[in-house]
Amino acid sequence: MAAAAAPPPPPTPAPEPALILSQNTPLGHPIFTRIRLATPSDVPHLHKLIHQMAVFERLTHLFSATESSLSATLFPSTTTAPQPFHSFTIFILEVSPTPFIDTPNNTFYNPTVKVVNLDLPVEDPERETFRVQNGSDVFVAGFVLFFPNYSTFLGKPGFYVEDLFVRECYRRKGFGKMLLSAVAKQAVKMGYGRVEWVVLDWNINAIKFYEEMGAKILQEWRICRLAGEALEAYGGAD
Amino acid sequence: MAAAAAPPPPPTPAPEPALILSQNTPLGHPIFTRIRLATPSDVPHLHKLIHQMAVFERLTHLFSATESSLSATLFPSTTTAPQPFHSFTIFILEVSPTPFIDTPNNTFYNPTVKVVNLDLPVEDPERETFRVQNGSDVFVAGFVLFFPNYSTFLGKPGFYVEDLFVRECYRRKGFGKMLLSAVAKQAVKMGYGRVEWVVLDWNINAIKFYEEMGAKILQEWRICRLAGEALEAYGGAD
């Protein structure tokens, strides 16, 4: 079955399909979604997703990550590597036209599975590139990368969302909200005080969306960044 | 000796003092400074410093940290607690009118000691409150709290500076720069790509200072914050 690529069903309903529909098959075009912790084997897909994000933001001149730099920094192999949620953490959004048959429990995060009913099937031009493994019917659709930050006034940590990305053909279906919500849920579960991220001031639609979900946009604060040669100079000076 | 509180030396130089001056005693009013990693025993001082920061920023209504919440979140006693620099990290700035006699090496960070020569001695009205321990001649003057963040484009971590605070009587002497520079040095040492922090857009003097040290002010980005009831609602919703 390939709901994402199949044509819409014939418009004339027959008794049998109606009967089938009542047996747990949602109306429309169901797509099965799963949010899980990323593993080192996700790095090739992550690298491609981050590059797509750089293209989307017209910032490819700033893109210098490699699969190897991502592996070394996101999945360090040292014995003292922090646990998920206590350092850089990635949720992967997977989609499938068929129910997930194996969703193993994870010590740190039990994957969340949800069926979303779409009006139209999704045509994914990059199915093969983002197929999770040979022969599987599961595809990577997006990710969110976040890590703890800290509020001294609250005296407690929060989460900072560095990146939230959903591939083009899966946008405007609520998947971005699902990823952000998964981070918020985890923050609440851990007793954390805040979830924060940044938005471009001209991105009015995004700002409206964030305000509607209850986020405050801090208008007065500006980010300062020391990087490259200026960082080397400052960090090397006395 | 108490250079911080003592009156200036008599204006008439005598041969003996001049001789003493040539023996490693700098001209003017020397103050000895030391930057070291914070320990759990610094929490009472840290709590007071953070409260002073809230007063300075007129944000005491947002201040709800307690010594116990700071201890639990900044110095967790679990065996899986991340190492310094891999999670929330605090440098304490100590000052003393006399040379530090014991600066033990630290596994993670060797304290940096520097003598600063001031034109005038410092009058510290809170000496007793911020004395490091009974009988010592060492006082806490400020702190910087920072933690790793991550750039997916660079494929490497950086440091985010959440707070930088120097007590009122020690300001305008380059101590803030010393603390920020210690973070930058550590970033360079670890091969990190960036040091970031935020500034209020009306704080023109601070912005000028940051630009002069080579930092870029990102004008287009705004911080979004989901907190309190909105976070609970969003994190609890499906």
Residue A186 Cα to chain centre, angstroms? 14
pLDDT band for B219, please (50, 70, 90 cuts): very high
Residue-wise pLDDT for B120-157, tens only, equals: 999 999 999 999 988 889 999 999 999 999 999 999 99
**Contact: B225, A219; criterion CB under 8 Å:** no
What pLDDT, on a 0 to 100 scale, did the predictor assign at position A106?
A: 82
Residue A157 Cα to chain centre, angstroms? 21
- Residue A25 to residue A23: CA distance in whole angstroms: 6
What pLDDT, on a 0 to 100 scale, did the predictor assign at position A13?
A: 40
Cβ-proximal residues to A122 (8 Å cutoff; 6+ apart), any chain: A4, A5, A29, A31, A95, A169, A170, A173
Residue-wise pLDDT for B68-88, tens only, equals: 999 999 999 876 778 899 999
Q: Are the CB atoms for A97 and A32 separated by under 8 Å?
A: yes
pLDDT band for B105, please (50, 70, 90 cuts): confident
Q: Are the CB atoms for A126 and A167 separated by under 8 Å?
A: yes
What pLDDT, on a 0 to 100 scale, did the predictor assign at position B85?
A: 95
Residue-wise pLDDT for B44-67, tens only, equals: 999 999 999 999 888 899 899 999
Selection from B215, B142, B213 nearest residue B176 by Cα: B142
The Cα angle at residue A58 between residues A231 and A56, in degrees rounded to 5: 120
Question: In A, which residues are within 8 Å of B61 by CB distance?
Answer: none
User: Which residue of chain A comes nearest to B114, CA vs CA?
Assistant: A238
Suggest the residue from B150, B164, B211 to mutate for an interface test with chain A (most A CBs closer than 10 A): B150
**Contact: A207, B213; criterion CB under 8 Å:** no
Q: What is chain B's mean pLDDT, rounded?
A: 87
**Contact: A195, B227; criterion CB under 8 Å:** yes
Please name the helix (run of DSSP H) or strand (run of DSSP E) that holds residue B198, with its range, or none. Answer: strand B194-200
Suggest the residue from B50, B90, B152, B202 to mutate for an interface test with chain A (most A CBs closer than 10 A): B152
Q: Which residue has the tokens 């747990």?
A: A24
Q: Are the CB atoms for A74 and A43 separated by under 8 Å?
A: yes
User: Which residue of chain B comes nearest to A190, CA vs CA?
Assistant: B235
Cα→Cα distances B165→A67, A81, B15, B215, Å: 38, 30, 41, 19
Q: Are the CB atoms for B46 and B53 separated by under 8 Å?
A: no
Burial of residue A76 (CB within 10 Å: 0-12, 13-18, 19+) is middle
Domain A29-73+81-233 in CATH 3.40.630.30? The answer is yes
What pLDDT, on a 0 to 100 scale, did the predictor assign at position B13?
A: 40
What pLDDT, on a 0 to 100 scale, did the predictor assign at position A26?
A: 53
Please give the average pLDDT of every successive group of 10 residues along chain A, which has 238 residues.
33 39 62 96 98 91 95 86 91 96 84 94 96 92 98 95 96 94 96 95 92 95 96 80
Q: Is B210 a catalytic residue?
A: yes
CA distance B45 to chain A (A): 13
The count of CB pairs under 8 A between chains A and B is: 259
Suggest the residue from A186, A218, A219, A222 to mutate for an interface test with chain B (most B CBs closer than 10 A): A222
**Contact: B221, A199; criterion CB under 8 Å:** yes
**Contact: A218, B226; criterion CB under 8 Å:** no
Nearest neighbour of A65 by CB, restricted to B53, B153, B227: B153
Selection from A77, A78, A75 nearest residue A88 by Cα: A75
What pLDDT, on a 0 to 100 scale, did the predictor assign at position A24?
A: 52
- What ranges do the domains of chain A cover? 29-73+81-233
What would the mean pLDDT of B184-196 be, rounded to a whole number? 96
Return the structure tokens found at A113: 């599975």
Question: In B, which residues are within 8 Å of A73 by CB distance?
Answer: 150, 155-157
* β-pairing verdict for B139-151 and B112-118: unpaired
Nearest neighbour of A195 by CB, restricted to B70, B218, B226: B226
pLDDT band for B236, please (50, 70, 90 cuts): confident
- Residue A186 to residue A35: CA distance in whole angstroms: 12
User: If DSSP codes are grouped into helix, strand and coil, which group holds residue B147?
Assistant: strand
What pLDDT, on a 0 to 100 scale, did the predictor assign at position A32?
A: 96
What pLDDT, on a 0 to 100 scale, did the predictor assign at position B35?
A: 97
pLDDT band for B24, please (50, 70, 90 cuts): low
Suggest the residue from B149, B200, B203, B225 to mutate for an interface test with chain A (most A CBs closer than 10 A): B225
Cβ-proximal residues to A73 (8 Å cutoff; 6+ apart), any chain: A88, B150, B155, B156, B157
What pLDDT, on a 0 to 100 scale, did the predictor assign at position A109?
A: 95
Nearest neighbour of B223 by CB, restricted to A86, A150, A196: A196
| DSSP secondary structure string for all residues of B6-25 | SPPPPSS--HHHHHHHHTT-
Cβ-proximal residues to A223 (8 Å cutoff; 6+ apart), any chain: A198, B196, B197, B198, B217, B218, B221, B223
CA distance B30 to chain A (A): 17
What is the interface pTM, i.e. ipTM, of the complex? 0.84
User: Which residue of chain B comes nearest to A47, CA vs CA?
Assistant: B152
Which range (A67-81, B191-205, B210-224) has the least confidence? A67-81
**Contact: B160, A148; criterion CB under 8 Å:** no
Strand order in the sheet with B194-200: B112-118, B29-37, B89-96, B139-151, B156-166, B194-200, A221-227, B216-218
Selection from B150, B221, B224, B195 nearest residue A145 by Cα: B150
Return the active site residues of A. 210
* β-pairing verdict for B194-200 and B156-166: parallel
Question: In A, which residues are within 8 Å of B202 by CB distance?
Answer: 220
**Contact: B63, A235; criterion CB under 8 Å:** no
- DSSP 8-state assignment for residue B177: H
CA distance B18 to chain A (A): 28
